[in-house]
Amino acid sequence: MPSPLHSVLVQPVRALDWLGSQGTRAIAALVVLGIAVPPLGEVLRPYVTEAIFLLLIISFMRVDLSSLRAYLRRPALVLTATVWTTIAVPTLIGGAAHLIGADANAPDLFLALMLQAMASPMMASPALAALMGLDATLVLITLVTSTALVPFTAPLFAHIFLGGMLSLSPFALGVKLAAILAGALAVAVVIRLTFGDAAIKRHRAPIDGLNVLILFVFVAAVMSNFVADFRAAPLHVLALAALAFAVFFVLLGATLLLFRRYGSERALALGLMVSLRNMGLMLAATEGALPGITWLYFAMSQFPIYLAPQILSPLATRVRQATRSAAPAAADI
């Protein structure tokens, strides 16, 4: 007969298992819930840093070690993806925005776009890739290399494109990023050594459910003022949302084209990562001293981020099926 403690522990695990089995639908529901219950955002906002840390722990914990070793033996793909997301993307977005005069005519929006472009990929991107069944290990490795470079690349691009609009502290940002990454890695290693890879794989669904709960911290925090902003200026908010989706799909499409020779599944995983930019980290580096338009664009950019798994899930399924069907055919040749 199960003990009372066992019964108490089983119910939350079952709830997480169910939540994790909902996959991309659960991620999309976060946006609706975050908008519908604004007070939750105020409560959860102080815990965003802790949520980032937990997401990284889970991502490190679930790394496929055999895939990791394979990528480290042949680092060309990771290096190319790192250069693309940390150097090429801010160069192209900054250059295009400057050519159309956005820096002069809409400086607050230009600041938001450059913060987005200069940022490393979201720390939640490996978790989202895993939920979609994509190569989370490739995403995680590229995330780490890109994040390590941001303290050096972001101030450079800020100097080139933003001038006196923004003041970054690369040393403080670098120390913070290093502490987050090293700490998360250390905790993940302890968890893997304690429970083993087999147990982690066996409990994939509850871990996915935990990912969903942690991701909710982000969306609730940034969507807390959405209803008030929309009531005040609905067309303005819709225009910013349309721009956020356009930027997302341009980055996704460009990455798919650039990396298609590495395989459709890898290209889609990298495309997801590149299009999900960690604007929150960049905003934290400025201590939140930013114009209202910049904050509003940041909120609107959460829509494509959290709806991406649901939107791209059918494409990810087709890509995985095509990859698996092609593998036996190639083996028969």
**Average pLDDT by stretches of 10, the chain with 333 residues:** 54 76 71 78 79 82 77 87 96 93 89 91 82 85 86 85 67 72 88 89 84 80 78 90 94 95 92 88 66 82 82 83 64 42
Q: Which of 112, 143, 27 is nearest to 296 (CA)?
A: 112
Q: How many domains does the chain have?
A: 1
The pLDDT value recorded for residue 110 is 92
Global confidence as pTM: 0.78
Residue 134 covered by a domain: yes
Residue 325 covered by a domain: no
The pLDDT value recorded for residue 330 is 44
Residue 269 covered by a domain: yes
Residue 322 covered by a domain: no
The pLDDT value recorded for residue 167 is 56
Could you read off the pLDDT of 266-318 as tens digits, one per residue? 999 999 999 999 877 776 666 556 777 887 898 889 888 878 777 888 888 88
The residue whose two tokens read 């250059």 is 95
Residue 281: give the domain boundaries.
Answer: 45-317
Strand partners, 121: 277
Residue 26 covered by a domain: no
The pLDDT value recorded for residue 8 is 54
Amino acid at the residue 324: R
Question: Could you tell me if 268 and 134 are in contact, meaning their C-beta atoms sit under 8 angstroms apart?
Answer: yes
The pLDDT value recorded for residue 243 is 95
d(CA 227, CA 221): 13
Residue 116 covered by a domain: yes
Residue 122 covered by a domain: yes
CATH number where 207 lies = 1.20.1530.20
The angle at the Cα of 123, spanning 126 to 135, to the nearest 5 degrees, equals: 15
Residue 96 covered by a domain: yes
The pLDDT value recorded for residue 332 is 45
